[in-house]
Structure formats: C-alpha cells, structure tokens
Chain A
Amino acid sequence: MMVLLFVILTFALLFARKGNYTFAVAGFFLLLILSICWLIYHITDRININL
C-alpha cells in the first residue's frame, strides 16, 4: 500500500525531469489525494469514537 505512494512519487519526479508537465502534475495530485486518504484511514482505524 505505502509502496504504491513512493512508486507514484518516483514516476512523477521522472516525468517532471523529462519535461512532461501534465503527467508530473497529475502524479503529484494523485499522490496527495492517496496520502490524505491513507492518513484518514490511519486516524479513523485506531480511534474508537462514535460520530
């Protein structure tokens, strides 16, 4: 799961270095969204609360 985030980051960086703006930006925001999802999962999975 976490591996996927680092793989996306690596490819986004490689696209940026190659000069592919669209894929670099798309990779960055995909990474950001998935990271936020992961953090929300981490928090909600471990706190026993009723909302």
Chain B
Amino acid sequence: MRDINATGALGLGLVVTGAYIFQFVLHELPCPLCMLQRLGMLGAAFGLLMNVRFGLRPSHYAMAILSALFGAAVSVRQILLHIVPMAGQPTGYGTPLFGLHVYTWAFLIFIVTIIAAAVLLLYNRQFRDSRVLPLTRYHQFVYWFIIVLAAANALTTLLQCGVLPCPDNPTEYLIF
C-alpha cells in the first residue's frame, strides 16, 4: 500500500513536471491560479508521502483530499473565468492539450485524486499495522523528486514575480 501511495505522489509530480514543459518549451508563463493548482497538486502528493514516511493513517489521506479539494476549487475558478468566449479574444488561457485547457485537465486530475484517496480509505486492514518503516530506494527517489519540484517552483516563482503578487497575464520574467 505504501508503494501505491508513492506511485500516486510520483504521478502528481509528473503532472507538475508537464506544466514545466509548457513554461520552458512553449514559453507560457504560469498565472497566479496556475501556481495555486501546482501547489494543490504538490500538497496532495505531500499527503500521500506522509503515508509513505509515517505509516498509513486516515489523517494523511485527509490531507491529500483537502489539498485536492483546494486545487479543484482553484481550477473551477479559472474554468469559470474563461468559460464564456469573448469576441476578438482567444478562447481560454494558454494552449489546449488534447482539446482541453490545462486548468480543465487539472480539475479532472484533482477529482481523480479525491476519488482514488477515498477508494484507498476503504481498505481498513492497511491501518492495523500502521508504523514508521524505513524508506526504500523507490520511496527515497519519489521524496526527493517532489522536494526538488517544490524547490524548483519556489525558484521559478521568485524569478517570475519576485516577492510581489504575480501579474494576471505574465509575459516575461521579473528577475532574469
């Protein structure tokens, strides 16, 4: 069960890595709501990693669900901002991926995360033997992957916005 949690965290980390492809390959800088969605995804991964480090507990799944709910709320906010097409303006924010915008994909991923965490909570037997176990090499890799992603996000956000609130439609880095 710890491996399933680690794999879930790795999957969420890979989604955030995909967002970096948009940022550095397509040169689409993230808006403030996009950053909050990244934060929600890494927060959900954090809840799953707590299961890996401190043993399987319902409270850790609750942390993942709370983060995913926050991320879903942010995604819905961004979907609603762009849901009505305006004449003469491009529809949505950023380049669509397989027909949907990135924030719509983020909303779907948050919903899948909530459902997956709820399904994992159904298995009561996992909580009987809840104790702290040493991290395997795979767990260590996932932990460092998520830590490096969080630190990289802190750095790129600093480069983009400095310590001030980020602009709504960023076009260039503030510090570079």
- Residues of chain A touching chain B, judged by Cβ–Cβ distance below 8 Å, are 1-7, 9-10, 12-14, 16-17, 19, 21, 24-25, 28, 31-32, 35-36, 38-39, 42-43
Contact = CB atoms under 8 A, between A and B. Distances in A.
Contacts of B163: 1, 3-4
Given A6-B154, A7-B154, A42-B32, A32 B43 contact: yes
The 6 closest A-B pairs by CB, nearest first: A6-B154, A10-B150, A6-B153, A9-B150, A13-B147, A3-B158
A42 B161 CA distance: 15
Q: Report which residue of B47, B154, B164, B166 has the largest number of chain A beta carbons within 10 angstroms of its beta carbon.
A: B154
B67 interface: yes
Contact of A9 (B39, B54, B132, B164): B39
Given A2-B32, A13-B147, A43-B77, A19 B132 contact: yes
B111 interface: no
Q: Per DSSP, are chain A's interface residues mostly helix, strand or loop, or mixed? A: helix
A2 B167 CA distance: 11
A31 B153 CA distance: 15
A36 B132 CA distance: 31
Nearest to A13: B147
Contacts of A1: 161, 163-166
Given A1-B164, A35-B36, A9 B53 contact: no
A6 B151 CA distance: 7
B99 to A, nearest CB: 27
14 contacts: A3-B161, A9-B42, A10-B147, A12-B46, A13-B46, A13-B49, A16-B53, A19-B53, A25-B50, A25-B63, A28-B63, A32-B67, A32-B70, A35-B43
